[in-house]
Structure formats: C-alpha cells, structure tokens
Amino acid sequence: MTEKEELVRKGYDLIAGKYHANRDIFDNKKELEAFVGLLPRSADVLDLGCGAGIPVTKFLIDYGFNVIGIDFSENMLNLAIKNVPEARFIKKNMTDVDFNDNSFDGLTACYSIIHVPREKHVSLFQMFHRILRPNGVLLISMGSNGWEGTEDFHGTEMFWSHYSPEITLQIVTDAGFEILFDKIVVDSGEKHYWILAKNKK
C-alpha cells in the first residue's frame, strides 16, 4: 500500500461515522438501476470500495444478488456488516483483490477509484476485465476532471487521484470494455463522471 493509499485508509477510519451519516446527499438510483437491469437473476456482484454498505451494497442485496463488498477501512466495514448483514465483506485494498478469472457478473466502484493513485488505473481496469465474466457489467464513478492532490475532507486530510474523463474513457475501452454510457452527473453541487460498460470477452 502506498503512502497516499494509507492516508485514505486512515482518513476513512477516522471519519467513518460522519461520512456514513452524509451518504444520503447523493442520489444515484438512476445509474444503479441501469446497472442492475443488465444483470441476470441472482448475479454475483463485487462492490469495490463499499464503505459502510449504503447505498450501493444494500441496493444490490435488495435486488437479490450475491454481493461481496471490499474496503480497506476497518471502521467502514464494521458499519457495513451492521447495515447489510446479508452481504459478505472483505477487508482489502481494491488494487490487491485476487479473485479467479470470470468470477463476477457485475462490478461496481462508486466514489472509490477516485482515491486510487492514477498510475494504477490501467492495471486496475485490466483486473476488472479479467475477473468479470463475458458480458459482465461494470459501473464506476470518477472525477469530472483530471486532478491529483490532498484536501480537507470532513476534518481529515484526504487524497484524490483521477484522470480527465477523456483519458479514463480510453483506459476503460483499452481494457476490453464496450461503453454503454458515459456522462457527467451533477448531484448536491458536485460533479462526477459515470461509466456503464460491458465486458467484451
């Protein structure tokens, strides 16, 4: 784990309760419904950077999917276990997941890849392509512009790292995905870049 990733992990451990209490300011039901609408019944879904399990992990469980949530913040995972006991949770850095090829029908990474050092993004999306099944579905949210740095976040220092939407789109496409939509979503005064894509295996 890099120094910047450790900063993110410690930061979320410190603000877990406060961050969880504010998750309802974002409403991404439209994007999530588009994602689940492409999945088979009882799909196996991986939620990377699941945080406290709300809203994404719970949304997926409520659709009857088999969900694994990954996060490296222990305090966030403790909240997730209480919030969504039906899911399985693993404490791990998302860049270190080691699932077998073709393990999942769907993969979400909402408000999480933005904290991964961008020099790791190419290998990260290659891993997504590997562990998703043929025609598996990917839903991600990213920064709306290219930027890397630290800022205060709920009273603690936090690290962000993302390319421009144009570069991110190229990385996802080059990793072997067919883009179903890509768009800037403005929610609660913040802009994020969302991609829905299908694995082209």
CATH of the domain at 50: 3.40.50.150
Q: Which two tokens stand for residue 88?
A: 């399985």
Contact 54, 88 (CB under 8 A): no
| Amino acid making up residue 54 | I
State pLDDT tens for residues 99-152. Answer: 999 999 999 999 999 999 999 999 999 999 999 999 999 999 999 999 999 999
State pLDDT tens for residues 70-86. Answer: 999 999 999 999 999 99
Number of domains forming the structure of the chain: 1
φ and ψ at residue 143, rounded to 5 degrees: -70, 155
pLDDT of residue 25: 46
Domain around 167: 3-199
